[in-house]
Every structure is written in structure tokens, then in C-alpha cells.
């Protein structure tokens, strides 16, 4: 059994986002980048499935500039067997990502595709669903528990009413949520071993996918600053401010 894991290079979640001076986007120059946290959970789950004996090979794939190799190396250091990098400097939208992943799936023939439910940079939450639709595969989204049972994968997903358990026939696409696991740290010996693991490089042209943007960003602005709060002396003062200043009552 083979598991393919999609990973994305994003601005590190600890970094405070800054908007460019021309409002064309967010600043990424000299900004710390790392693996999308949801994808990191997907990587951890793939490794755990292999450690449990149900998976023979794990493969990480990432799309982006040459620096995406760092993200793949992180996955390899965690325990993934090999990597695939699709190199492009263009901004890639979810549909183009899904189309390229479809071609990679056709070449690799995995039984299961794992990925984060969304990326923390664009928050689109679309790629997994689009990929499943393009492949005609079963899909499980927002998964917080996953078990392999023969040729099926049993997933528990969070819905508005609580938890829902589904059984999907593989091959399948699964997008994972925060509660699935806690990713491991890459040890120094594994980081050194990761440098010797194979990363295959492809380009969108090799896959025959049109990556032209279909959306135009007109402007990116920071949210308006909120005024500082104030401490009131009692209920009567609070009611007075709500009535006469905020005018909400």
C-alpha cells in the first residue's frame, strides 16, 4: 500500500503577517517559511500508518519554487520515504494544484492521498475536494481519526452536530484536522538521513497542466485597528456607555 502526502510551504504560523506597501499581497521577503501545520499532521499520520505495518511506502509532494525542497526535506526527516517537487514560481490556485496532483497520482498510483484540510495562507479548503472529484475517488474531509481496515479506510470527521464516522473504499482522498495527531520533531540523525533521500523534480509543463491564474487580487489591506477597551466602575456606568456611546441598547 502506498500513501501520497501533499505538503505546502507557507509563512510560519508564528510570524506576524505584514501587508506590502503597495497592497498587492503579503510580505514574504526574508520571512520565515515552514510546512503548513495541517499538512504536517497529514505527514505524521502517513508515517504512523507505515510504522503500524499497513503501508509500504510514503511519498511527499510539494508545488512551488525551488525553496519548497526544504519543506519536502522536513517531511523526509520526519520519516517519509521519498519526495516529489513540482517547480514553479507562479502563484498556484487550488484547481491547478488539484490538476497537478491528479497527474502525480496517475504516475504514482497511491492507495490513499493525505493532505491538510486547508493551508493557513489562503484558507481555501478546496484542493482535497477538487482532487477527489477529478479522480472520481471517495473523500473524507476534516478527519480527526483514521483507521485502515483492509481495502477501506474508516474516518471520523467533525461536523456541526458533533462527530460523523464514514467508511471509504480505497483509493481515497482524506483531508485531516488538528485533532488527528501531534506531529513529531525531526531528530538530528533523521535530518542527516533526509539529505540522502530522493526528491524527483517535475515542472507543470511535464504534467500538461495549465496553471494560469483565474482570479485577480485587486488589493490586500490590514483589518481596521480596534480601539482599546476601558474599565467601567459599575453596572450603571456600563449601561450608560452602551446606551449613549455604543448606542446598542
Give me the torsion for CA of 63, 68, 69, 74, rounded to 10°. Answer: -110
What is the residue range of 99's domain? 2-217
Residue 178 C-alpha cell reads as 488538528
Give the pLDDT of residue 4.
97
- pLDDT single digits (tens) 146-194: 999 989 999 999 888 889 999 999 999 999 999 999 999 988 999 999 9
In the chain, the number of structural domains is 1
- pLDDT single digits (tens) 182-239: 999 988 999 999 988 989 999 999 899 999 888 888 898 888 888 888 888 899 999 9
Please check whether residue 97 lies inside any domain of the structure.
Answer: yes
The pTM is what? 0.85
pLDDT mean across residues, the chain? 92
- The partner residues of 176 in beta bridges, in order of sequence, read 116, 143
Give the pLDDT of residue 69.
93
Please check whether residue 138 lies inside any domain of the structure.
Answer: yes
Residue 12 C-alpha cell reads as 510560519
Please check whether residue 16 lies inside any domain of the structure.
Answer: yes
Q: How far apart are CA 43 and CA 117, in angstroms?
A: 13
CATH of the domain at 132: 3.40.50.620
Amino acid at each position: 500500500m502506498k500513501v501520497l502526502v501533499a505538503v505546502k510551504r507557507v509563512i510560519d504560523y508564528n510570524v506576524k503577517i505584514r501587508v506590502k506597501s503597495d497592497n498587492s499581497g503579503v510580505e514574504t521577503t526574508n520571512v520565515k517559511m515552514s510546512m503548513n501545520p495541517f499538512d504536517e499532521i497529514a505527514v505524521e499520520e502517513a508515517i504512523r500508518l507505515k510504522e503500524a505495518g499497513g503501508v509500504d511506502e510514503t511519498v511527499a509532494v510539494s508545488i512551488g519554487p525551488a525553496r519548497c525542497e526544504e519543506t519536502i526535506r522536513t517531511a523526509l526527516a520526519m520519516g517519509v520515504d521519498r519526495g516529489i517537487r513540482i517547480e514553479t514560481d507562479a502563484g498556484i490556485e487550488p484547481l491547478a494544484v488539484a490538476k497537478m496532483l491528479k497527474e502525480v497520482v496517475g504516475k504514482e498510483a497511491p492507495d490513499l492521498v493525505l493532505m491538510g484540510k486547508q493551508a493557513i495562507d489562503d484558507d481555501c479548503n478546496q484542493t482535497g475536494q477538487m482532487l477527489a472529484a477529478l479522480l472520481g475517488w471517495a473523500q473524507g474531509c476534516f478527519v480527526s481519526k483514521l483507521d485502515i481496515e483492509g481495502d477501506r479506510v474508516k474516518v471520523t470527521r467533525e461536523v456541526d452536530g458533533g462527530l460523523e464516522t464514514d467508511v471509504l473504499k480505497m483509493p481515497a482522498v482524506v483531508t485531516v484536522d488538528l485533532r488527528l495527531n501531534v506531529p513529531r520533531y525531526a531528530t538530528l540523525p533523521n535530518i542527516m538521513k533526509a539529505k540522502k533521500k530522493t526528491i524527483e523534480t517535475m515542472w507543470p509543463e511535464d504534467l500538461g497542466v495549465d496553471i494560469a491564474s483565474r482570479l485577480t487580487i485587486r488589493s490586500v489591506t490590514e483589518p481596521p485597528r480596534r480601539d482599546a477597551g476601558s474599565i467601567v466602575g459599575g453596572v450603571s456606568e456600563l449601561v450608560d456607555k452602551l446606551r449613549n456611546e455604543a448606542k446598542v441598547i
